[in-house]
């Protein structure tokens, strides 16, 4: 029964992303910078006359579009401008309630439930690290080469959301895997000064206080404390597979069951191991690469950021013996646990 079966996680070829604002933002920035619409849409399978609010695109199509901007648009700040433009478009339409949000938590909830509108290619894993909330970015659709560009779009959009809701610049810390770029000025202007290059993963971090504290609405008065913020409906749908990509879902599985094998994971998707492998390959990933990515992320968060000792970390990562744990950490991160703690 097609109607009653739970929605499957979204794969790269599913045309389910409401990409109208995304495509419009790309065109609005790239076109005045000398890239024709024709060139931008070439090879994407998106047609000029189909760009209406009802447009549905696949992750693959968005990736092709962003690939075209990256190679044809010479402006170095194009990614940040696209993110800002996308944020403005969403703030004027689907996300207009962000302006009245009472705290960042509400904004985060909206962004999470509406992720296909704003973050179709990126998902975030949240960790609580001492006094901070850390979001580690994960490639949701297999962006490969355009991943840094996608992250620049996404981060500049999120900063614009935070600014629109809090009316201030929040003290975001950004981790970037790339080395210090030549156009550092653009990063500083659009994201802020707290930038950390050569980081182990793309991430953003905020003090927990900024996340939880209600926004001050100085001149509006107490009434606005509750505001007209429309809480997104949070039912069974929030963490349902419909807001996850296949890669997200596999990562979640391995996060919860670190020893899940490829056939176990394939069974979760009701697929044969061969089909599952092929599916992941379409997303430029292998099962092994995905599990190792998650474990590497966990090792770095636990050891280098939370500074937990080996026993605690090993038990968090479901390792039964320490030598095995140490070997695995060294293989995944290139550092021993004590080296990581010293970072």
Partner 1 sequence: MFKLRNHTQFGHHKGWLVFTVAVLSLALVLSLNAGSPKLFAEISWLDILGEGSIVLLTLAWILSALASRPPGKVTRYIVIGLGCILFSASLDLLDEFLRYPPASHWLSMIESFPAVVGMLVMTGALYLWHHEQRAINIQLRRREWDYRDHGEIDPITQLYRGEYWQARAAAFQESGGNGYVAIIDINDFSYFNERYGQAEGDRYLHEVAQLLIMNLRQQDLACRYAGDRFALLLPDVCETQAYNIVKQICISIEHVAFRHQASAEAIYTSARAEVAQLTPVSHLPNILRGMLGKLEKGQRTAA
Strands 173-175 and 203-207: antiparallel
**96: contact with partner 1 by CB under 8 A:** no
**28: contact with partner 1 by CB under 8 A:** yes
Shortest spacing between CB 149 and partner 1, in angstroms: 17
**173: contact with partner 1 by CB under 8 A:** no
Contacts of 310 (CB under 8 A, 6+ apart): 322, 325, 326, 337
**297: contact with partner 1 by CB under 8 A:** no
Q: Which is nearer to partner 1, 53 or 218 (CB)?
A: 218
**DSSP result, 288-302:** HHHHHHHHHHHHIII
**Nearest C-alpha neighbor of 339 from the set 304, 299, 306:** 304
Q: Which is nearer to partner 1, 77 or 139 (CB)?
A: 77
Q: For residue 271, what are the CA distances in angstroms to 172, 240, 247, 268? A: 41, 19, 15, 8
Which DSSP state fits 146?
G
**221: contact with partner 1 by CB under 8 A:** no
* Beta sheet of 203-207, edge-to-edge order: 122-129, 132-139, 203-207, 173-175, 195-196
Cα radius of gyration (the chain): 21
Q: Which is nearer to partner 1, 217 or 330 (CB)?
A: 217
Q: Please choose, out of 121-129, 136-144, 165-173, 319-327, the segment that lies near partner 1 by the rule CB under 8 A.
A: 165-173
**38: contact with partner 1 by CB under 8 A:** no
Q: Please choose, out of 2-10, 69-77, 113-121, 276-284, the segment that lies near partner 1 by the rule CB under 8 A.
A: 69-77
Judged by CB under 8 A, which of 75, 211, 224, 308 binds partner 1? 75
Shortest spacing between CB 81 and partner 1, in angstroms: 7
**32: contact with partner 1 by CB under 8 A:** yes
By CB under 8 A, the count of residues binding partner 1 is: 30
Angle at 160 between CA 136 and CA 123, to 5 degrees: 25
* H/E run at residue 129: strand 122-129
Could you give phi then psi for residue 262, rounded to 5 degrees?
-55, -45
Judged by CB under 8 A, which of 76, 126, 208, 278 binds partner 1? 76
Residues engaged in binding partner 1 (CB under 8 A): 28-29, 31-34, 74-77, 80-81, 84-85, 88, 92, 160, 167-169, 182-186, 188-190, 192-193
């Amino acid at each position: 029964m097609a109607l009653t079966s739970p929605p499957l996680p979204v794969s790269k070829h599913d045309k389910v992303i409401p990409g109208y604002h995304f495509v419009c933002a790309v065109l609005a920035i790239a076109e005045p910078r000398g890239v024709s619409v024709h060139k931008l849409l070439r090879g994407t399978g998106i047609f000029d006359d189909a760009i209406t609010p009802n447009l549905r695109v696949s992750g693959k199509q968005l990736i092709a579009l962003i690939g075209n901007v990256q190679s044809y648009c010479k402006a170095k700040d194009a990614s940040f401008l696209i993110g800002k433009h996308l944020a403005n478009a969403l703030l004027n339409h689907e996300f207009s309630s962000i302006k009245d949000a009472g705290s960042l938590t509400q904004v985060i909830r909206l962004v999470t439930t509406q992720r296909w509108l704003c973050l179709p290619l990126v998902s975030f894993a949240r960790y609580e690290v001492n006094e901070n909330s850390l979001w580690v970015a994960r490639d949701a659709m297999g962006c490969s080469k355009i991943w840094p560009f996608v992250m620049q779009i996404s981060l500049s959009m999120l900063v614009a959301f935070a600014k629109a809701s809090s009316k201030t610049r929040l003290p975001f810390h950004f981790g970037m895997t790339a080395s210090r770029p030549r156009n550092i000025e653009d990063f500083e202007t659009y994201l802020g000064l707290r930038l950390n290059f050569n980081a182990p993963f793309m991430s953003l971090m905020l003090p927990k206080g900024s996340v939880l504290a209600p926004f001050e609405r100085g001149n509006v008065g107490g009434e606005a404390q509750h505001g007209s913020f429309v809480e997104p409906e949070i039912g069974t749908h929030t963490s349902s597979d419909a807001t996850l990509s296949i890669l997200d879902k596999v990562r979640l599985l391995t996060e919860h069951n670190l020893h899940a094998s490829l056939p176990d994971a394939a069974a979760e998707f009701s697929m044969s191991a061969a089909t599952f492998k092929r599916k992941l390959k379409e997303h430029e990933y292998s099962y092994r690469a995905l599990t190792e990515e998650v474990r590497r992320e966990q090792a770095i968060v636990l050891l280098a950021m939370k500074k937990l000792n080996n026993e605690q970390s090993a038990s968090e990562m479901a390792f039964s013996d320490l030598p095995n744990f140490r070997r695995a950490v060294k293989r995944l991160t290139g550092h021993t646990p004590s080296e990581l703690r010293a970072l």
